[in-house]
Amino acid sequence: MGLISLLLLYGVPLFLFATHLRRRRDVQGQALALSGVIVVGAFIGFGLTQSLLRDVRGLSGFLGMLTACWCLLKATPEGGGETAQS
């Protein structure tokens, strides 16, 4: 049960941010989506040596950074701003 919860806690945000990273064409949207992917990846890496989500500070930091990245990403218009060049 714990492994499934941990996979969902990391997997759902990772999937959502990765989807936006592939779909968005504006630079700001891609940067915010990449920031969300990096936050999740960093906490997965940190979790190999520290149990960060066991502590209130670690969990609130994880959820706070994810929420900030997600809110900024959703507030950014998809077609606005500069477009990324392939």
pLDDT of 83 reads: 56
In a domain, 15, yes or no: yes
pLDDT of 50 reads: 87
In a domain, 14, yes or no: yes
In a domain, 28, yes or no: yes
Written as one letter, the residue type at 81 is: G
pTM of structure = 0.83
Number of domains, the chain? 1
pLDDT of 64 reads: 95
In a domain, 2, yes or no: no
Where on the phi/psi map is residue 67: left (φ > 0), alpha (ψ -120 to 50), or beta? alpha
pLDDT of 68 reads: 96
pLDDT of 34 reads: 96
Spans in the chain with pLDDT lower than 70 = 79-86
Alpha-carbon gap, residue 54 to 72, rounded angstroms = 27
Contact 59, 53 (CB under 8 A): yes
H or E segment at 40? helix 27-46
The sign one gets for the Cα dihedral 58, 9, 3, 34 is negative
